[in-house]
Amino acid sequence: MMETVLTKPVKHLEKFAQLAWRDKRIAVFSGREGIGKTRGFERVAASNAFPKIAFRSRPTISNSGVLEELRTRLGIERSSGSKYLNNDKLYIEVGRWLANHPALIVIDEADGLHQSCFELVRALHDEYGVPFLLIGNEQLEVKIDREHPRLARRIYRYKESDVSREQTRAVADAMDFRLSDEEFDLLWKYCGGSPGWLEIVVRQADFIAAANGTRRGPEAILGAFAE
């Protein structure tokens, strides 16, 4: 969505990742849905600036899932002959490997992590010095502060504000939406600085206009909001 326009959240996330790596800390980057966090995650994951392991959380992910993601990416074998690594032994193997081959662990949509996963993050950091960057929505910090006070005391925090009006318009132009001033004013009123939400609404408005055999206009945008 934002190939052409690098918005403020994307740039800030890249800098924050570098800070987490430099200081070997647990860093938490949060912000409203649709402001570009996932785009920033993708750029960090693709960067060669420093070693990293980057993956996206799933709603069902547990400690086992996080360890399995790390095991797979590190190339650690679960079983060799009659030897099998249970989660406890796998935790030790993963920790030792990362202690000897440091890498920043970047997890997108971290607000969806199971409660126990946050304790796993803290333990790997405390015992083996593993740095993390957790990226999520506005509930991520709330969840950590409320349920994981020991982790909350250890983290770097950055809460990203919405994208500016000018950058939101630039993103819309880069996506070739060709919005009139009246259309954009409506979108700004209801979506604010969230290019992701703006994209969803415009595409729905285009669908409504096409279904009615008309061109998209303010009425179609209001119809998209109503739906």
Residue pair 133/105 in contact (Cβ under 8 Å)? The answer is yes
pLDDT at 227: 80
Task: Choose among 97, 155, 160: nearest CA to 126.
Answer: 155
pLDDT, mean over the chain: 92
Q: What is the pTM of this model?
A: 0.87
pLDDT at 1: 43
Distances (CA, A) of 189 to 4, 183, 192, 201, 222: 24, 10, 6, 12, 11
pLDDT at 224: 92
Task: Choose among 39, 38, 14: nearest CA to 27.
Answer: 14
156: three-class secondary structure by DSSP: strand
Is it the case that residue 19 has pLDDT exceeding 60?
yes
Please report, rounded to a whole number, the percentage of residues in the chain having pLDDT higher than 70.
Answer: 97
Task: Choose among 131, 76, 77: nearest CA to 102.
Answer: 131
- For the stretch 117-162, pLDDT in tens is 999 999 999 999 999 999 999 999 999 999 999 999 999 999 999 9
What 8-state DSSP symbol labels residue 111?
Answer: G
Q: Indicate the range of 44-48, 81-85, 207-211 predicted with least confidence.
A: 81-85
Residue pair 40/195 in contact (Cβ under 8 Å)? The answer is no
Beta strands in 57-131 (DSSP E): 79-80, 83-84, 104-108
pLDDT at 81: 67
107: three-class secondary structure by DSSP: strand
- Rounded mean pLDDT, 170-186: 93
- For the stretch 79-113, pLDDT in tens is 776 678 899 999 999 999 999 999 999 999 999 99
Q: Name beta bridge partners: 158.
A: 29
Is it the case that residue 2 has pLDDT exceeding 60?
no
pLDDT band with cut points at 50, 70 and 90 for residue 27: very high
- Rounded mean pLDDT, 196-205: 93
HSE-up of 120 (CA within 13 Å, CB side)? 25
pLDDT at 4: 57
Is it the case that residue 53 has pLDDT exceeding 80?
yes
For 181, the token pair is 């001033």
